[in-house]
Amino acid sequence: MGNKQDKQQQQKAIKPPTLLLALVPVFTMIVLLSLGYVLFELPPEPLIIMSAIVAGIVAIKLGHSYDAILGSISEKIAKTMPAILILITVGFMIGTWMVGGTIPMMIYYGLKIIDPQFLIITAFLVTSIVSICTGTSWGAAGTIGVAFMGVAAGMDANLGAVAGAVVAGAYFGDKLSPLSDTTNIASLATGVNLYEHIGHLLYTTLPSFIVAGIVYAITGLNMGSAGVEIPEKVGTIMSTLNSIFSWNLLLLLPILIILFGSLTKKPTIPVMLISSIVAMINGMIFQGFSIQDVMVSAVGGFNLSMVNVAGFDLATVIPDIPRLLNRGGMNSMMSTLLICFSAIVFAGTISVTKSLDLIINKLMRLVHSTGSLIVTTILVGMSMIGITSNGQISILMPGEMLRESYIRRGLHPKNLSRTIEDSASIIEPILPWTAAGAYMAGTLGVATLDYLPWAVFCWTGIIFATIWGFTGFGIAKLTPEQQQEMLKEYDSEQKVSNK
């Protein structure tokens, strides 16, 4: 009886936040990330934790207990654990695909089909393929992309157009790859199945891809570049890959397993593990790696020091090769997971006070239709990426803030996961001050504003997202049963937070 009275007294002592107080933790995070991360290049994790501390102080000031804050954080970690396990499995799979020769084979044959007369469209398509296979836009642009820029320089082509095609292809592949960290984070943040999220992305991704492809094809045909030779670096990369790995069609089996699992909507983690096991077998049978090398690659990532092929000398390898191949492994996902955990701590702390609910309710007064909700989501995503310059945070926070609003309106959260990808992760490389924009400009040797108009895929997504929002095309609705179930789940989470 006494415990019940204590809880009732504690509930009475809890005060609702004012709008100003609700905004304090959010503005704190924005200021810290804008100054610390963007200007002084400090790591984002401690800055997010500092923001969580401010949110905790606000929560305690409003009468919430320390145990209630911990309970809310624990609940959110438990909810996101399946997606976190997928991220770790992705790292495992990339390492095995690399040691098994699956990813190197896609890169090799992608480079082999380069035709200078169709350089721009080829750069777009090949970079897309490599990015899908590796799950990294930066890796695809920094390796294959650099090779294409060498071709462009050798033929005196429009460097801005080629760089834009490379960036567009890199982010197209990254967006649709089940190996991509941002794709997995968007799924995690909105509570949407990974493959369901990827499938829904096609509504905006495919039209943008087609528009970009048409632009690049027309531009390339007018370049008049037939007969220009491919630079020596591309040939060196291909010959090195050919000397390290043995090619055969069975190396594509891990990809086919993932595609089959996606189409048939099988459980994500078992499908990825089966694909990884097949890749490990390929690595031992066809590539000649030991079981120890295969295991090390799965955990710590593939490394060229594992290669023991006659005539191969690591000391003579050009820097592009290790930059292309040394990747993957479960350990490679730890930095991404740390950002996720930090953001979850912040979200769990701020949710105790219902601060986000208050902010969203004020924001939602401007929303009167599905189209205006999509536009609001786009503006939130673009603002987050523009202010924080961090793709993961710019996906996690809008996903956390807006999920309930979509469910209340009878809209499936996969509409939200798609839109925050369209407005945050895909916009990032065309903003000069973001980490991605600076990386692409420095790596490709073309200023961000010079390749921006040519990175057609990166800015047409928000156009299609807006059109679909107002027309209803490609907008997934919830059945009354689904809506009730999701709202019940959301309400139960809030009850846990208030205990």
pLDDT in tens, the chain (499 residues): 555 555 555 555 788 899 899 899 988 988 887 788 777 878 888 988 999 999 999 999 999 999 999 998 898 788 778 778 877 887 898 889 899 998 888 778 867 777 667 889 989 998 898 888 777 787 778 767 877 786 776 566 788 999 999 999 999 988 888 888 888 889 988 989 888 999 999 999 999 999 999 999 988 877 655 555 566 777 888 899 999 999 999 999 988 887 788 678 788 789 889 999 999 999 999 999 999 999 999 999 999 999 988 778 888 888 878 877 887 889 988 887 887 788 888 888 988 888 877 887 787 788 889 999 999 999 888 887 876 667 777 888 888 888 888 998 999 999 999 999 999 889 989 987 777 887 788 778 888 889 999 999 999 999 999 999 999 999 999 998 888 888 887 666 655 555 5
Q: Which of 171, 66, 89, 93 is nearest to 423 (CA)?
A: 171
Question: Distance between CA atoms of 194 and 411, rounded to whole angstroms?
Answer: 18
User: Residue 292 burial (CB < 10 Å; 0-12/13-18/19+)?
Assistant: exposed
Distances (CA, A) of 191 to 84, 182, 337, 433: 12, 14, 16, 30
pTM higher than the cut 0.75: no
Asked if 69 and 110 touch (Cβ cutoff 8 Å), the reply is no
Give the number of other CB atoms < 10 A from CB of residue 193: 18
